[in-house]
Amino acid sequence: MFIDSGDCTPAYNMAMDEMLVEWHSKGMIAPVIRFYGWNPPGLSVGHFQKVAGRIDLDAVKAHGFELVRRSTGGRAVLHDDELTYSVIVSEGHKKKNAEVGHRSLPRHFNRTA
């Protein structure tokens, strides 16, 4: 499944990814590749990343960024004027189907460019 969400709020972007993961894990939807932007810009922090005393929340707000927590790990990532993508496919998904989907992406981009 291909989704182009356009520019969305940081909270919407993270909530959408979480719902897509849940729906795919329950077999409700096929694997997904989703492209999206950020409006307003956001600072996403990893699932286990400590924020208190480590991130200047006043500075984040003063610069017009929204803080959001990702369901995945890692450190803080600043999102502004970019194209972000997420790929959602379960480990148990048939490898052949994933390879076919991967090979079809360049054709899709050639059609839409």
CATH number of the domain enclosing 56: 3.30.930.10
Burial class (CB within 10 angstroms; exposed 0-12, middle 13-18, buried 19+) of 37 = middle
Residue count (the chain): 113
Global pTM value: 0.78
Q: CB neighbours (10 Å) of residue 43? A: 21
The pLDDT of residue 9 is 97
Distance CA 67, CA 41 (A): 9
Q: Which residue is listed with tokens 């307003």? A: 40
CA 83, 85, 91 angle in degrees (round to 5)? 170
Tens of pLDDT along the chain (113 residues) come to 999 999 999 999 999 999 999 999 999 999 999 999 999 999 999 999 999 989 999 999 999 999 999 998 899 999 999 999 999 998 877 765 545 455 555 555 544 44
Q: How many CA atoms lie within 13 A of 49 on its CB side?
A: 19
Distance CA 87, CA 34 (A): 7
Per the structure, the count of domains in the chain is 1
- 78 lies in which domain range? 2-112
The single-letter DSSP state of residue 37 is E
The pLDDT of residue 107 is 52
